[in-house]
Homo-oligomer: A and B are copies of this chain.
């Protein structure tokens, strides 16, 4: 039985609903025996950002919504020159356009938002990475996996990815506060080969690599204080995730996503991403029908016990809403979160005056 107080079901694209066991792990005392926690994980998990490019470097940013603009802003802050490949809202750059761009200029790295939380657009990583390795083999492939790691298929090594940057609070199912990243050997080499010092103090390989190396060598060392509680909760959620084959987890997210997307279509509503192949499996971004305001619909849904998110893409923020379907809300069917969401959306729309044409 849940020890959590009754509360409206949080169905936004992160933070998500968390499993009881994970939340209870948060209330663990501070343990300094972090080694045992780390060692229990099969995956290399390191907690910092990726800042390989040097000032003046050119990078190619594939734009599928808000988070590409964030990537570009971030690069500009550090003197790196982003070129954005933009498309219409709900679409993603085509491989042909990307190939053309890669041939026009030498890019230090290319970034792709695997799932853009602002639009629900899913990018295709495998073919993209093949293309980059073929056309511009020195360009690093950097993936924003914030809304995809844990609910979308990613094969880091076999797809030849160089960096996947994610966070704890979405499909990984651990409360917000951890930045979790994966890097290829050549990404690390690229960092080591840089000629200018890193432009960030905290989010820097320079300060964290020695800590990781000492960790591997079982030597104590210090740069900054981690959060034992968050790491404890992460350990619990990763243990749960790895308790069944990942393929099952991804299939379940896909099936649940299909169910929600069918309900949306049955209501006569359209998604931001019109092409099924470009639709995320952990969230759905839905255009509101003519005359329905998010400011009316969302509070109505809260009264029914479910929380959806408003729009985030600047140009159309008031015209759509977003539903998250990741983690326990998908994997623990007994909670009934998804049915509750579908039911609430249908009756909620009716109550604010919408009738299917």
Contacts and interface: CB of A to CB of B under 8 A. Distances in A.
Interface of A: 3-5, 7, 10, 12, 14-18, 23-32, 73-74, 77-78, 167, 169, 175-177, 197-204, 220, 222, 225-230, 307, 310, 312
B5 A226 contact: no
Given A26-B26, A30-B10, A77 B201 contact: yes
Contacts of A16: 30
Summarize A's interface: helix, strand, loop or mixed: loop
Given A3-B27, A176-B227, 17 more contacts: A4-B27, A5-B28, A15-B225, A17-B29, A23-B229, A24-B27, A26-B229, A30-B175, A30-B176, A32-B307, A73-B201, A77-B198, A77-B204, A78-B201, A169-B225, A176-B225, A176-B228
A203 B197 CA distance: 19
Contact of A30 (B18, B32, B230): B18
- Stoichiometry, as copies per complex, reads 2
A255 to B, nearest CB: 25
B225 A312 contact: no
Nearest to A226: B176
B74 A201 contact: yes
A350 to B, nearest CB: 25
Contacts of A73: 201
A199 B77 contact: yes
Contacts of A226: 176
A220 B310 contact: yes
Given A201-B73, A225-B176, A4 B29 contact: yes
